[in-house]
Structures are given as C-alpha cells and as structure tokens.
C-alpha cells in the first residue's frame, strides 16, 4: 500500500537529555547554535549605533550611552565571547565537513580547543581594545 502512514511518520527525537548523556561533543555543538543565533542581539545594537551616528549627535549620544552602559557592556562582552566561540566552532565545523577529525579523541580535543581558545581570544580582545 502506497498511502500507509502518510503524515504519521516518526520524527527524529531530540537526543540530548532523554536518550543521550550530555558530552563534550554534543554540548560544544549546541553552544555553536546558541552563540550564533544570540549574536543577533549584538548585530541589532551595533546597527542601531551606526544608524544613530549617521543621524545626529544627539541621537548618537543616546545609542552610545546604551552601548556603554553596564548592560550594553555586558551584552558586548558576552558577544565577544560568543563570536569567538562561534568563529572557532565554525572552523571546527569546516574541518569536520572535510571528513577529518571525526574520531572521538580528536573530536574531544577540538572541543576543548574551541572552549579554551574562545576564552583566550576573548581575554586577548578585551585587553587590546
């Protein structure tokens, strides 16, 4: 029968939690998605800041004040880490996509590399800027 089970096919379940013990590879993978999508907040703030600079000195003072407030600084500091994390995780993804680094010891090493690398790059960025 060709029409059996149409629309009632099983969906692939969300694995982390009920079926899979959280592990370095899965957590670093989901963090890639979280950091990447969360960066929209920084993008909105920066574009707003640019628009304010293009509009007038008064409007710029408002946007600049928000970005340099404690809340703005918190978001920007978090975004610096998020962008470096996503940057390194993306490079790891490109490496994986070439079919390399997929054995467990290498994958775990790359996971730690992404975590520590993002922290180091964040501290480095905050120091030089």
Partner 1 sequence: MRYLTDRKRADGLGSAKSGTEHFWHMQVSAVALAILIPLFILTFGRILGAPYEDVVAYYSRPFPAIVAGLTLIVGMTHFKNGAQVMIEDYVHGFARKALVVGTVCLSYAVMATGLYALIRLAL
Map residues 79-108 to x or -, x wherever contact with partner 1 holds by CB under 8 A.
Answer: -x--x---x--xx-xx--x-----------
Helices (DSSP H) in 8-128: which residue ranges? 24-55, 57-67, 70-97, 104-128
86 is known to lie in a ligand binding site: yes
The β-bridge partners of 20 are: 16
Candidates 16, 27, 51, 74: give the one binding partner 1 (CB under 8 A).
51
Q: At what angle do helices 24-55 and 57-67 cross, to 10 degrees?
A: 160
Q: Check binding of 41 to partner 1 (CB under 8 A).
A: no
Cβ neighbors of 59 (< 8 A, separation 6 or more) are: 52
Nearest to partner 1 of 77, 112 (CB atom): 77
The least distance separating partner 1 from the CB of residue 57, rounded to whole angstroms, comes to: 5
Cβ neighbors of 83 (< 8 A, separation 6 or more) are: 35, 39, 42
Q: Check binding of 53 to partner 1 (CB under 8 A).
A: yes
Q: Check binding of 44 to partner 1 (CB under 8 A).
A: yes
Task: Show binding-site residues for heme.
Answer: 86
Task: Show binding-site residues.
Answer: 86
């Amino acid at each position: 029968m060709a029409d059996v089970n149409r629309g009632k096919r099983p969906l692939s379940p969300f694995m982390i939690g009920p079926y899979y013990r959280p592990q370095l590879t899965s957590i670093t993978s989901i963090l890639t998605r979280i950091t990447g999508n969360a960066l929209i907040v920084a993008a909105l703030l920066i574009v707003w800041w640019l628009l304010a600079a293009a509009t007038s000195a008064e409007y710029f003072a408002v946007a600049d004040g928000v970005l340099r407030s404690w809340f703005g600084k918190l978001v920007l500091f978090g975004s610096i880490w998020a962008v470096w994390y996503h940057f390194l995780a993306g490079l790891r993804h490109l490496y994986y996509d070439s079919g390399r680094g997929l054995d467990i010891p290498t994958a775990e090493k790359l996971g730690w590399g992404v975590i520590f690398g993002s922290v180091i790059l964040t501290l480095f960025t905050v120091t030089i800027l």
